[in-house]
Amino acid sequence: MVWRIGKGDTVKFWQDRWLNGRPLFEQDGILQVEDVTCNVSSFLKGDWWDIDKLRAVLEEDLVQQIICVPVGVNGAVPDAQIWGPAANGLFSVKTAYTLLFHGSEWPSYDWHFLWKLKIPPKLQIFLWLVFQGKILSNEQRVRRHLVDDPACNYCNWPVESILHIFRDCEKAASVWQAMLCPGAHPHFFQMDFHPWLRSNLLSKAMWGDHVPWPLVFVFTCWVLWKWRNNQIFNIDNEVSYEPEKIIVAAVREWYTASQVGGTKAPKMPLLLTWEPPELGQFKLNVDGSRRCASGSIGAGGVIRNSLGDWVSGFAVNLGKGQILEAEVWGLFFGLQIAIAKGIRRLSVEMDAATAVLLVQQHSRLGSHPLASLIASCCAMVRQIGVCYVSHIYRERNAVADCLAKWSHNLDLGLCVLDAAPSWLGSVLVDDLLGVPRTRWVSLASG
Ligand SMILES: [Zn+2]
């Protein structure tokens, strides 16, 4: 689905698909993102686009594409979702299916660790754009015919690459000289771009007494990027030039605030076991799996009776896609097998909270991309008779988790397992004996 802009007050400027069929922050030519959740309407002025505001955050090329997008005259037309890939804006099952499996292309390298870094969300987004090559150096801007000269505007080095901006430019190098602890980063100025980013972001080193080095590293990169843009786009010629002070102040402020906000909430271990269904009932556990590096998805599941005996199981390799798709397909195939076995009383458990929520709220899904798949699942739930879908912690779902991961070894398609595979032995026995798996839960209020 893509958005057709009307008032622009319900469409997210950075996150929704309203330009070129992709979220704006997946596109090339972004200068900075201050608020990732803002609406399109915050970039409108009167009846038209606020061009100055657009230019402050996007390169000219994107600005020009955006101002061609018609916006609701006098704010009279509401925003509307239309079915993008079919030319007439109407839904078709075929395009839905094509999108489901081929619509989302992800880069093959693993940048998911970014979301785990303890840095401000704004800087996570900035780094994500850097990793995806969405911010442009002069070298890349020449390639895209946005400028003629690839040289660095500051030191006149003939080619301004991303690495030049962040590290090798005279200006950047002098900032790093001030920030680096002597001897702590021996190959800092020799590494290639991605290894350099990664090793600094994942470093366990401390800066000064107790501030993690990755935090200092990210703030420094960000400040270097902002200064470079200020200079190129003449947003502010009088750039203050006391880099260390600015960076150190920003780092300390955020670090102190995040420490206070996150004072270690006490945690306690929760001992979780798989629980067999009641006598005469069956239990289906399902799970999905996605490999970050390749984007491959798969699912798996198992049906057991009240004695914990294996009734049936499956693993399915689903090609490429998103984790939520894997989880809902897992539910789909699990229910299908339960029906084939003639099961009339079934308790379904999965650890994917979102998938469970979608099933419980299926009547309100509207044009959600997975709406038809979820509707099929709900129809099967009704066909079974007594059937409940509930959410459990991952620690209670170990067998399904193993099967889902195993699905990546299979060829595309469904593999039904009438007997338990021998390699699952110990996990199944643990479930049967009620051996607990530990989950640490926070005791913080709320
Ligand atoms: Zn330079």
pLDDT of amino acid 412: 80
Residues 353 and 396 in one domain: yes
How far, in Å, from the CA of 137 to the mean position of ligand 1?
Answer: 11
* DSSP bridge partners of 48: 45
Whether 102 has a pLDDT exceeding 60, the answer reads no
Specify whether the CB–CB gap between 345 and 282 falls below 8 A.
yes
Could you tell me which of 97, 33, 95 has the C-alpha nearest to residue 15?
33
CB 368, CB 442: distance < 8 Å: no
Question: Does the CA dihedral 76-80-85-87 come out positive or negative?
Answer: negative
How far does residue 36's CA lie from ligand 1's centre (Å)? 30
Closest to 44 in 3D by CA, of 14, 6, 81, 78 = 6
CA distance 328 to 338: 15
Q: Distance from the CA of 35 to the center of ligand 1, in angstroms?
A: 29
Clarify whether residues 200 and 59 are in a common domain: no
**Ligand 1 mean position to 404 CA, how many Å?**
49
CA of 49 to the centre of ligand 1 (A): 34
- Residue 151 CA to ligand 1 center (angstroms) comes to 8
Q: Which of 102, 137, 163 corresponds to the end of one domain?
A: 102
Mean pLDDT (the chain) is: 80
Task: Pick from 1-5, 109-113, 210-214, 440-444 the range whose average pLDDT is largest.
Answer: 210-214
Cα–Cα distances in angstroms (integers) from residue 2 to residues 22, 68, 72, 79, in the given order: 8, 16, 16, 11
60 and 91 together in one domain: yes
Q: What is the reported pTM?
A: 0.45
pLDDT for res 415: 92
CATH code for the domain in which residue 423 is found: 3.30.420.10
Strands (E), 6-96: 17-19, 22-23, 44-45, 48-49, 80-82
Asked whether 85 and 98 are in contact (CB, 8 A), the reply is yes
What is the rounded distance in angstroms from the CA atom of residue 416 to the CA atom of residue 300?
A: 10
Residue 168 has what pLDDT?
94
Q: How many domains does the chain have?
A: 3
| Amino acid residing at 359 | V
129 Cα: distance to centroid of ligand 1 (angstroms): 21
410-422 average pLDDT score: 89
Average pLDDT over residues 201-219: 85
- Residue 167 DSSP class: I
State the pLDDT at residue 269: 67
Whether 135 contacts 162, CB under 8 Å? yes
Give yes or no: residues 316 and 208 share one domain: no
Tell whether 194 and 128 lie within a shared domain: yes
Closest among 99, 128, 109 to 325, alpha carbons compared:
99
Ligand 1 centroid to Cα of residue 169, in Å, is 4
> Distance from the CA of 158 to the center of ligand 1, in angstroms?
9
Asked if residue 446 belongs to a domain, the reply is: no
In-domain check, residue 358 = yes
Name the domain boundary from 51, 73, 102.
Answer: 102
Is residue 272 included in any domain, yes or no? no
Separation of alpha carbons 203 and 163, rounded Å: 19
| 161 shares its domain with 287 | no
Count other Cβ atoms within 10 Å, centred on residue 410: 14
Residues 41 and 64 in one domain: yes
Residues with CB under 5 A from ligand 1 (ion): 152, 154-155, 157, 169
Percentage of the chain exceeding pLDDT 70: 82
Ligand 1 centroid–CA 62 distance in Å is: 25
Q: How far is the CA of 47 from the centre of ligand 1 (A)?
A: 41
Q: What is the pLDDT of residue 160?
A: 94
Is residue 385 one of the residues assigned to a domain? yes
Q: What is the pLDDT of residue 91?
A: 43
Contact 189, 197 (CB under 8 A): no
Task: Give the per-residue pLDDT at 345.
Answer: 95
Single out the residue in 38, 68, 102 at which a domain terminates. Answer: 102
443 part of a folded domain: no
Nearest partner of 388 among 435, 350, 341, 336, judged by Cα: 350
pLDDT at residue 109 greater than cutoff 70: no
Does a structural domain hold residue 107? Answer: no
**Average pLDDT for residues 324-344, to the nearest whole number?**
93
Q: What is the pLDDT of residue 104?
A: 38
Q: Would you state the pLDDT for residue 292? A: 82
Which of 187 and 311 is assigned the larger pLDDT? 311
Alpha carbon of 104 to ligand 1 centroid (Å): 36
Ligand 1 centre distance from Cα of residue 12 (Å): 35
| Top-confidence residue, 181 or 15 | 15
Determine the pLDDT at residue 287: 96
Residues 409 and 300 in one domain: yes
- Greatest alpha-carbon pair distance for the chain in Å reads 78
Residue with tokens 């509401």: 78
- Cα–ligand 1 centroid distance for 164 (angstroms): 6
Flag whether pLDDT at 76 surpasses 60.
no
**Rounded-to-integer distance, Cα 428 and Cα 414, Å:** 21
Residue 9 vs residue 220, higher pLDDT: 220
At residue 268 the predicted structure's pLDDT band, cuts being 50, 70 and 90, is low
Do residue 305 and residue 358 come from a single domain?
yes
Residue 276 lies in a domain: no
Residue 143 belongs to domain spanning: 114-261
pLDDT of residue 187 exceeding 50, the answer is: yes
* Confidence bin at 347 (pLDDT 50/70/90): very high
Between 337 and 66, the more confident residue is 337
Whether 16 has a pLDDT exceeding 80, the answer reads yes
User: If you measure from the C-alpha of residue 237 to the centroid of ligand 1, how many angstroms do you get, rounded to a whole number?
Assistant: 16
- Higher pLDDT among residues 135 and 442, named by residue: 135
* Among candidate residues 300, 339, 341, the one with its CA nearest the CA of residue 318: 300
State the average pLDDT over residues 433-441. Answer: 78
Percent of the chain clearing pLDDT 90 (strictly above): 24
- At 241 the pLDDT is 59
Statement to judge: residues 181 and 287 lie in one domain: no
The mean pLDDT value for 411-437 works out to: 88
**Model confidence pLDDT, tens digit, residues 358-397:** 888 777 666 677 777 888 889 899 999 899 898 888 889 9
Q: What is the DSSP string of 82-96?
A: E-SSSTTS---HHHH
C-alpha to C-alpha distance for 185 and 359, rounded to whole angstroms? 51
Cβ contacts of 204 within 8 Å, gap of 6 or more: 212, 213
**441 occurs within a structural domain:** no
How many other C-beta atoms can be found within 10 angstroms of the C-beta atom of residue 159?
13
14 alpha carbon – ligand 1 mean position (Å): 30
Q: How far is the CA of 166 from the centre of ligand 1 (A)?
A: 9
Q: Are residues 192 and 224 in the same domain?
A: yes
Distance (angstroms) between ligand 1 centre and the Cα of 64 equals 28
Note whether 239 and 295 are same-domain residues. no
Alpha-carbon distance values, 337 to 314, 375, 398 (Å): 9, 17, 20
The predicted structure's pLDDT at residue 94: 45
Structure tokens, 11: 């469409």
pLDDT-based confidence at 86, cuts 50/70/90?
A: very low
